[in-house]
Every structure is written in C-alpha cells, then in structure tokens.
Chains A and B, each alone.
Chain A
Amino acid sequence: MGIKEAVHPERVLLVRSVSKREALLEMIQCFEKRGEVKDIESLKEKIFYREKLMSTGIGLGIAVPHVRMEGIKEPLVVIGVSGHGIEDYGAIDNQIVRIVVMIVAGKEQHQKYIKLLAGVVTHLKRPGMIEKLVNAADTQEVYQAFMGADHVSG
C-alpha cells in the first residue's frame, strides 16, 4: 500500500475556508460525500482531538492531520490546497498552512498508517512539490502535481 493507492482524484479539493476548523471540516466532508467513512462524527472528533494534543502543522506550509478509526479498510488520503492559506493552524514554524493532507487509516493498521504518514511528508518535502501544489489552478492539476509519475514512490 503506497501513497498512490490512498489518493483519489475526487479526494482532492481547493480549500475555501480560512479557519483551521472550517478547513478541516471541509476536507472531512469529502469523505462524507464519497461514503468512505461511515461514522463522520467520530472522524471529526478524532481529528480535532489529535489537533488539540498537538498541531499537525509541521512547517513549510504543510499540515498532515491524521487518525486511525474503526470501519476503514485501507488508508485514505484527502489533499486540500488553500490559495490564501490557513492562518490559525498553529504550525510549528508559525507559518500559514497551504497544503493539508489528511490521512485516515483503519484502527489496527498501525504499520501502514505510520508508513503512509512518513511517506506523505517525505513526498511533500521533495524539491518543487510545494510550489507545484500551491500554484495548481484546479483540483485536476493538484492531483497531477501530487501524483507526478516519477515522484511518487510506492
């Protein structure tokens, strides 16, 4: 299970909200729409609980909110890009966050979960990736930029 399998063109969005909370809810809705997560309330609760423990804004404008929960068969990823940036994300470097990659894995998928998390972060930190994503005009471009064939490793 690599990053490629976890990403889907329909789980890519341009985030409209400017607040952290709204932005995250917007991304969670993405799962709701596609029916991939049954218990949306639990997902919200878990996402916000994790943010409360410590912000997932890891610097360089990147955030990777992540949770494990029941009822998820294979890890899923939502990619959200914010043109104006989210100011109140509370990232470690106090920068605004422009790229949010939300990771949801099954309750017992400890290994896949950590691997995917590490993989996503490494992937985002590749030279030029952040610019490509931020400058993408629509979700299609975001998707392509993220999936850029020779960049994404299994």
Chain B
Amino acid sequence: MFPADLFPDLSMPHLSILFLLGLALFGGTLGGKLFARMRIPQVVAYIVFGIILGKTGLNVVTEETLLMLQPFNYFALGLIGFMIGGELKTQTLARYGRQFLAILMAEGLITFFVVTGLVALVGALFIEQRGLVWALALLLGAIASATAPAATTDVLWEYKARGPLTTTILGIVALDDALSLMLFAVAASLASVLTGSGSGGILHLFTHPLVEIGGALATGALSGLILSLIIKKQSQEEKILALSLGAVLLVLGIAITLNIDVLMAAMALGVMIANITPRKSREIFSLVEKFTPPVYVLFFVLFGAKLNFGNVTTFLAGMVLVYLTGRTLGKMAGAALGARFSGAPAAVKKYLPFCLFSQAGVAIGLSILAGQRFPGEIGNIIVVIITTSTFFVQILGPPMVKMAIIRAGEAGKNFTEEDLIRRTRAKDIMDTQIPLIEENMPLRKVLAIVSEHPNLYYPVVDPNRKLIGIITIDNIKNTFITTGLHEFLLAHDLMESVAFTAEPDSLMVDVKAMMQDRQVDYCPVVSRNGRLEGFLESRSIQRLISRRIESIHSGEDRT
C-alpha cells in the first residue's frame, strides 16, 4: 500500500477534485465492466474502487474533498429518489399499496426488534451499564431497519428488471426511509432517557420526523406539480432534461435548507411527474436515466472512499457480526412474513427476503446523527459498526438482489422502446404471410393478387421460394396502358431487382439504417440459402415494433 505522502500533489484542492472525479468515473466504470464480466453487479466494483482510493486504501481522497463533494451525494440520492418516484404510478400504489405497507411494517419492525434484542443480549456481556446497552441496542435496531435504495435499484436497473418482485422492492426501499426515521426518533428518545443525555424533549423527537417526512412529501409534490405544468409545453429533449434536472436540484436544495428528508422529497417529485403527465413522463424519466450513470458511479466510488476500517477493535468486530446477523435474520424473516400475510405473489414471497440487505446513506446519516446526539462511547460504537457493516452489506447485498431477480425471472424484462428497437430482429416483426408471386405469373394474375392485398411491394420467387425480384406498386402502375397484354406480360417483365435483403437475425436498427441509406421502403428477409422468409415495409415497421412492445408488456402484467 502506498503511503499517501508519496503523492502530496494529489491533495491540492483544485487539481485533485477534477482529477479525482475523472479517476473515479474512469476507474469505477472500467471496474464495473470487469465485474459485469464476472457477473457481479457493477455497483460493487464502484464501491471497491472507492475503498481502494479512500481512507482504507491509497488514501488519495482527503477529508476536505469528501466534504466538498457532499452536495454531489445529495444530487445522486435525489436522482435515485426521482427515478424511484417515477416507478410509483397510482395504479401500482392502488394495486400494491397495502401489500407494500404490510411487508414494510413487518421487515422494518422485525429487524428493529431482532437487532435490538441481539445487540442488547451480546452487549450486556461487554458493557456493564444496562442503560447504555439498551440505548445502543435500540439505536442500532432503528438504524438496521433502513434499506438503501441506491445499490438495490442500481442492480434492478442494470439488469433491466421488471415484475412483481421488482415493483415490491422499489416500493419497499422507497417507503423504508420514512419508517426508519420514525423508529430512530422513538429509539433516540428512549435512548436519551436511558443515558440521561436527552435534549429537546420527547415530544420534539416524535414530531420532528413527522415534519421531516410530511414536509418532504409536500415540497416534492408541489414542485412536481409546477414542473409538470412547465414541462408540458416543452418538446426539445435538451430543454426537458435541463428542466427536470433543475427541478431535482431545486427540490434537493429546498429539502436541505428546510432540513427535511432529501430522498422523500425527490421521490415525491418523481411520483407527481409520473402521475400527472404519464405520457410526457416516459420521455422525462428516460432522459434523466441516461444522465444518471456517471452520477451513480461517482456516488458509489465516493461512498467507498468514505468507509474507514482503521479503528475496528475485536469487540467492535464482534458487534458488527452481531448486528449483521440480527439485521439479516430480521430482514429475511420480516420480508417473508410480510409477504405471506399480505398475500403477495409467489416470486415476492420466495425472493424478497434476499433483496433488502442494502444499507447506506440513511443508515450512515442516522449513525452520524446518533454520534452527535450521544457523544462518547455509544456514538462512536454506532458509527464504526454502521460503517463497517455497510461495507459488507453493500458488497454482498447487490449480488443477492441480482440472484433474486434472475431466479424470479424478472431480469431483462424492462424494455424501453429504444431497448426493444435495439434488440428487435427482422424475424420478430417481418410479415411472413406475404403474397408470393412467381416469375412466370401473367400480369392478369399479378393484378388479381395485388388488388386483394394492402402491400406496396410483392416479392417474386422461383418454385423453391428463392427471391429473384420485387414488384412494386409503381411497376404495376406502368401496366395501366397495356390492356392488351395482360396474358403476355409476366411477373418477370415487371419485376425489379432487389436492392438489398436482410437475414432473419439481422437487427432492425441495421435494417432501418440500410433502408434509409438506400432510400428504399422495403426489405425482403432472406435466409442464408436464399429462401424468402418474410418481408418488411418501412411504413409498418414502427407500428409493428410498438405492437410488440405492448404485447411484451401486457404479457408480463398478467403474471
């Protein structure tokens, strides 16, 4: 490991920040690709790269740098909240709302009780003061209930998940914040009584989180209303993107100033947009989504850099283990029970218990809050336990989510129109019922066929269905003056040669590009041995792709 003072220049503030951002983006992304090849969610690579750069590793990221980049973390969180909000349509909430709530209460409360119990039990062996033990246990229990949306949703998006399990995960991680804030408030108030270090009164501790959550929802919702009114009239993509990002930043700024929950505010903004302007919102979220990758990479790299394992003692390591065991058991049991009692779909019952391990921003934030409110031993223990355990769950959590969504059959099902066009092959949408015309067919017969079909192009084939030419409506038009020749003119005399063909496996993007290049409105689809398999007309390509998207999406919704 390099001593940090070998590179004193790296901590020069101006150079280092840009350099660091570049390094983080570059290294994180390349690492992510490497990990993706090893089938590990890319977010793990970002965090590991951050750990390498950070306090635990090379230590090239100074405390000031991290502090200076703090607003950036909020930005990332805001985007995550906004994107989650976009997934929460009123139909989804109406359909899954009760189920979400049941699972949320179960996994949150059970985790709280299990962690609190275990920590109290084990803690009592090492710490004499009963009050301190219970305070520690309650605070850790409350913090343990939080599930981090960032790493979880990153996996869902990376693997393009879609389905009941995915929807439930999104719903839970989105609402989870509110519950853990409430639990933390209760725990903190009890802890301050137990340790005798309370300040501000119990009532304040209860009302504050309510204000924080309510204020966040109100701020986000109001901003969403205003933004959707403004954005409705915009048609340029750049303007829509800029306005959306601007709105997210504004909401974040307001939330930080008012000291209300940042994630909830951004989420409420997303929910409003998605539900007020459902049509426009598709465009908005797909634009913002394209903007998010570098922000997420930086967020996770910086997150890793912040982790510090310098002061983990044996006692603390043991407590980390206890905390992790309790939290894992609590989350699994809670999710399983909640899913069972709410009558959730089978995939949710079976796999949700593996999806809620992630812990990050909220947990760390609460641990720091605890550190400030309970200076001294408890505060420090909490910060170290949460930081260290966060490292483990962030490394182990995402692969679990990945495994769950793959087993549940929800990976790779979330298609945007663009994805689908990118993935659509000629065989997926080609017309296989095309009227075939044989080379020696007299014009009379050709006309009879053409008059019965809406097609603009008619492939001419030999008896083995090998493509030899094409008859267009223009060619047909030329024959209007040939009334005497209907028996003598053959398809052969009318047909044109074919400009180009596609294979059944050709990607539609390539086919469309070729059609545009050559300014041809059709493309026969021909197998390697020259047999005509199907036909594409440019006027119907778009319609067929849209229909395919619809059928894929509706097919899933039925499950």
Interface residues of A (CB under 8 A from B): 50, 53-54, 56, 58, 64, 66, 92, 107-108, 110-111, 113-115, 117-118, 121-122, 125
| B459-497 to A contact mask, C-beta < 8 Å, 1/0 | 000000000000000110011011011011110111011
Asked if residues B485 and A110 are in contact (CB atoms below 8 Å), the reply is no
Asked if residues A66 and B493 are in contact (CB atoms below 8 Å), the reply is yes
**CB proximity of A127 to chain B, nearest CB, Å:** 15
Asked if residues A110 and B496 are in contact (CB atoms below 8 Å), the reply is yes
Point out the residues of chain A lying under 8 angstroms from B492, CB to CB: 50, 53
Cα distance, A107 to B497, chains bound together (Å): 8
| B166-193 to A contact mask, C-beta < 8 Å, 1/0 | 0000000000000000000000000000
- State the 10 A-B residue pairs at the shortest beta-carbon distance, nearest first: A118-B482, A53-B440, A114-B478, A111-B478, A58-B488, A118-B481, A53-B492, A110-B475, A54-B490, A54-B440
Point out the residues of chain A lying under 8 angstroms from B497, CB to CB: 107
The A interface is mostly helix, strand or loop, or mixed, namely: helix
- B439 at the binding interface (Cβ < 8 Å): yes
Q: Within the complex, which residue of A92, A117, A125 is in contact with B493, where a contact is CB–CB below 8 Å?
A: A117
Asked if residues A114 and B493 are in contact (CB atoms below 8 Å), the reply is yes
**CB proximity of B516 to chain A, nearest CB, Å:** 20
Asked if residues B488 and A118 are in contact (CB atoms below 8 Å), the reply is no
Point out the residues of chain B lying under 8 angstroms from A117, CB to CB: 482, 485, 489, 493
**CB proximity of A22 to chain B, nearest CB, Å:** 23
**CB proximity of A84 to chain B, nearest CB, Å:** 24
Which range holds the interface residue count of chain B?
20 to 34
Asked if residues A110 and B484 are in contact (CB atoms below 8 Å), the reply is no
**CB proximity of A89 to chain B, nearest CB, Å:** 13
Point out the residues of chain A lying under 8 angstroms from B481, CB to CB: 114-115, 118
**CB proximity of A2 to chain B, nearest CB, Å:** 13
Point out the residues of chain B lying under 8 angstroms from A64, CB to CB: 488
**CB proximity of A99 to chain B, nearest CB, Å:** 15
**CB proximity of B304 to chain A, nearest CB, Å:** 64
Point out the residues of chain B lying under 8 angstroms from A113, CB to CB: 493
Asked if residues A110 and B478 are in contact (CB atoms below 8 Å), the reply is yes
Point out the residues of chain B lying under 8 angstroms from A110, CB to CB: 474-475, 478, 494, 496
Asked if residues A114 and B479 are in contact (CB atoms below 8 Å), the reply is yes
Residue in B closest to A111 when the chains form the complex, CB atoms: B478
Asked if residues B493 and A118 are in contact (CB atoms below 8 Å), the reply is no
**CB proximity of B507 to chain A, nearest CB, Å:** 29
Residue in A closest to B492 when the chains form the complex, CB atoms: A53
Point out the residues of chain B lying under 8 angstroms from A122, CB to CB: 484
Residue in B closest to A49 when the chains form the complex, CB atoms: B492
Residue in B closest to A50 when the chains form the complex, CB atoms: B492
**Known: A53-B439, A54-B440, A110-B475. Is A125-B490 also a contact (CB below 8 A)?**
no
Asked if residues A56 and B488 are in contact (CB atoms below 8 Å), the reply is yes
A sample of 15 cross-chain residue pairs with beta-carbon separation below 8 angstroms, ordered by A number, consists of: A53-B439, A54-B488, A56-B488, A64-B488, A110-B475, A110-B494, A113-B493, A115-B481, A117-B482, A117-B485, A117-B493, A118-B481, A118-B482, A121-B485, A122-B484
Asked if residues A114 and B482 are in contact (CB atoms below 8 Å), the reply is yes
**Known: A54-B488, A110-B496. Is A115-B439 also a contact (CB below 8 A)?**
no
**CB proximity of B460 to chain A, nearest CB, Å:** 11
Residue in B closest to A58 when the chains form the complex, CB atoms: B488
Cα distance, A111 to B478, chains bound together (Å): 6
**CB proximity of A116 to chain B, nearest CB, Å:** 11
Cα distance, A140 to B442, chains bound together (Å): 36
Cα distance, A54 to B490, chains bound together (Å): 8
Asked if residues A118 and B484 are in contact (CB atoms below 8 Å), the reply is yes
Cα distance, A121 to B485, chains bound together (Å): 8
Point out the residues of chain A lying under 8 angstroms from B479, CB to CB: 114
